[in-house]
Amino acid sequence: MSMLTRQQLNSRAALSATARAAGAGPHAGAPATTGGPAAGRGTGSDPDAQPTGGPRGDLRFPTGFGWGAATSAYQIEGGAKEDGRGESVWDTFSRAPGRTRNGDTGDVAADHYHRYADDLDLMRDLGLRSYRFSISWPRIQADGTGAPNQRGLDFYRRLVDGLHERGISPMATLFHWDLPQALQDAGGWENRDTAYRFAEYADAVFRGLGDQVPAWLTINEPKTVVQNGYLIGHHAPGFQNPQAAYLVAHHLQLAHGLAVRALRATGSTGRIGPALNLHPCYPADDSAEAGRAAHLYDGYENRLYLDSILKGSYPADVLDDLGADSWMARGIADGDLETISSPIDLLAVQYYTPYYVTGDGGTVTRWPTSQADWQQIYPDGMYDILTRITRDYGPVPLTVTENGLPQADTLSADGTVDDNGRISFLRDHMAAAHRAISEGVPLESYHVWSLLDNFEWAEGYDQRWGLIYVDYPTQRRVPKRSAHWYREVIRANGL
C-alpha cells in the first residue's frame, strides 16, 4: 500500500477537498494569524550534527523539574492475548493486509508486558523522575464494558509500585488509541455512547490504581485519531470520512471531560489533564491569504482542542468552516462544552513539528526533516507553542509529554548505538523549553518520546524513537548514546 505521509494528511488543501466532497462547508476567511513567519529566528537543528559534549549546567532547570520519558501500551507491551486482554482496534488494523509497514503488529512489540521489571531498572539507571505510560483499555475491559479485569489492573499496579520503589513518579494515560474492538463494532468514537463507556473505564482505573498515580492524562492526541484514523485512514480504524472525523473529535473531547469529572467524583487528589499534540502554524509568506490560511489551519490543529477545554467553546472559524449542518455541529448537545471544559490540573503538550501554511491552505517544508518525513526539525517551535499557550490561555501548569525524533539507529559491533542526531535534537528542544520557562511559562516536566524503540503504528518497527535500543529478535535492550547523555542532563538538572 502506498502510505500517505502525515504531512499530506495535515495538508489543509487535502482536508478541504475531502471535506467538500463529504459536504462540509468551504473554508471561510478569518482574521489575524497565530505565530509569525520564522525568518530571522533560530535554525532547525541538524539531525546529522555532532553533539558538542555533555551538559555543562549553563541552563539550569527549576529545582524538582520532572525529567521523564514516555511510552504507550500498544507500542511496547506485547502480551496481546494474555491475562484476559481483549482485542483492540490496533490488533485488527495491524493484522489486516497492507495496513502497516512489513505487516508489523504489536503482538510482541518490546515485550514490556513480561520485561517490565528490567525496564523499570533501566529507568532507574537513567535517573528518570517521571515515567509516562498508557493503560490498555482492553486489558481492563476486554470488550470495553463491565467489571474490570483484575489481572489487567494487577499488571499496572505492579508497574506503578515498581516506579515508586525506584523513586519515579507515575503519569498514566487512559487512552492511547487502543479502543476495544467490541466498542468499534458498536460504532467506535462516532458513537456518542463510547464517551460514556470511556468514563466508566476511567472510573474503574481510578478506583483500581488511583491512590498510587499522582497524574493522569485522559486522551492521547485526539487530533491524531481524527486525522489519521478518520480523514486519511492510515491509522485504526482506517476510515476516510471528514464528517465522521469531526464528530469523533467532539466525542473524544466529551470523553475527556467525562473522565475529568469521574476522577473528581472518586474524591481523588490526583491531577488530570489532556495530552494534546500541538503545532505552531506559521504563514508561509507575507501575503494576507497565507495569514488567513494559517489562522484557520491553527484552528483545526490547535484551537479546536485547546479552546473547548480551556475556554468552553469551539473556535467559531472552524465551526463556520465545517458548516452548521456538519455531523459535529449537530452532535453537540446542551451541556457538552461545560463537561469538556471541566477544570483541569495540567495540560500535556506534545511537540514535534511546525507547519508553514500557504495561501491556498497547503503546507511547505522549511527545515530539515527527520526519518519521519512529516517532521521538520525546528526547536523554536517548542518555545513558540509553550509561550503561546500561556499567553492565550493563562498560566495553566504544563508538562511536555512527548518530544523526540526517529532515526535509523544501528547497534555497532562494539555494542554501542551512536545516535548523535538525537542528542542535538533533544538538547536544542530542551534549551527552547528552558527559554520559555525563563520567561514565565509554568512548565514542570519534560518527557522524551520515547523510552524504548517501539511499534510506530503504520510505520511498524522501521522507525526507532527510543533512548534505549531494542534488538527485536532477542529483545535485548541497549541504552543509546542519547540515554547516557540524558542521564547526565538529569543529574545536572540542566544543559
**Contact footprint for ligand IFM (CB under 6 A):** 72, 75, 221, 350, 402, 449, 456
Which CB sits closer to ligand IFM, 111 or 456? Answer: 456
Burial 470-493 (b: 16+ CB within 10 A, else e): beeeebebbbbbbbebbbebbebb
Q: Which of 100, 107, 110 is nearest to 76 (CA)?
A: 110
Which CB sits closer to ligand IFM, 90 or 314? Answer: 90
Which CB sits closer to ligand IFM, 69 or 319? Answer: 69
- The secondary structure of the chain, three-state, reads CCCCCHHHHCCHHHHHHHHHHCCCCCCCCCCCCCCCCCCCCCCCCCCCCCCCCCCCCCCECCCCCEEEEECCHHHHCCCCCCCCCCCEHHHHHHHCCCCCHHHCCCCCCCCHHHHHHHHHHHHHHHCCCEEEEECCHHHHCCCCCCCCCHHHHHHHHHHHHHHHHCCCEEEEEEECCCCEHHHHHCCHHHCCHHHHHHHHHHHHHHHHHHHHCCEEEEEECHHHHHHHHHHHCCCCCCCCCHHHHHHHHHHHHHHHHHHHHHHHHCCCCCEEEEEEECCCEEECCCCHHHHHHHHHHHHHHHHHHHHHHHCCCCCHHHHHHHCCCCHHHHHCCCCHHHHHCCCCCCEEEECCCCEEECCCCCEECCCCECCCCCCECCCHHHHHHHHHHHHHHCCCCEEEEECCCCECCCCCCCCCCCCHHHHHHHHHHHHHHHHHHHCCCCEEEEEEECCECCCCHHHCCCCECCCEEEECCCCEEEECHHHHHHHHHHHHCEC
Which CB sits closer to ligand IFM, 91 or 203? Answer: 91
Which CB sits closer to ligand IFM, 326 or 350? Answer: 350
Report d(CA 297, CA 357) in Å as an integer: 8
Which CB sits closer to ligand IFM, 249 or 284? Answer: 249
Q: Minimum CB separation from ligand IFM for residue 459, in Å?
A: 8
> By the 8 A CB rule, do 462 and 395 touch?
no
Q: Minimum CB separation from ligand IFM for residue 405, in Å?
A: 9
The residue from 77, 87, 190, 221 that is catalytic is: 221
> By the 8 A CB rule, do 4 and 229 touch?
no
Q: Minimum CB separation from ligand IFM for residue 402, in Å?
A: 5
What's the distance, CA 205 to chain centroid? 20
444 flagged as catalytic: no
Q: Minimum CB separation from ligand IFM for residue 217, in Å?
A: 12
List residues bridging with 363 in a β-sheet. Answer: 357
402 flagged as catalytic: yes
Q: Minimum CB separation from ligand IFM for residue 25, in Å?
A: 30
Q: Minimum CB separation from ligand IFM for residue 379, in Å?
A: 17
Which CB sits closer to ligand IFM, 358 or 363? Answer: 363
Q: Minimum CB separation from ligand IFM for residue 454, in Å?
A: 7
Q: Minimum CB separation from ligand IFM for residue 483, in Å?
A: 18
Q: Minimum CB separation from ligand IFM for residue 449, in Å?
A: 5
Which CB sits closer to ligand IFM, 27 or 464? Answer: 464
Report d(CA 291, CA 283) in Å as an integer: 5
Report d(CA 180, CA 485) in Å as an integer: 38
Which CB sits closer to ligand IFM, 61 or 93? Answer: 93
The residue from 77, 190, 301, 402 that is catalytic is: 402
Any idea which residues carry the catalytic annotation?
Answer: 221, 402
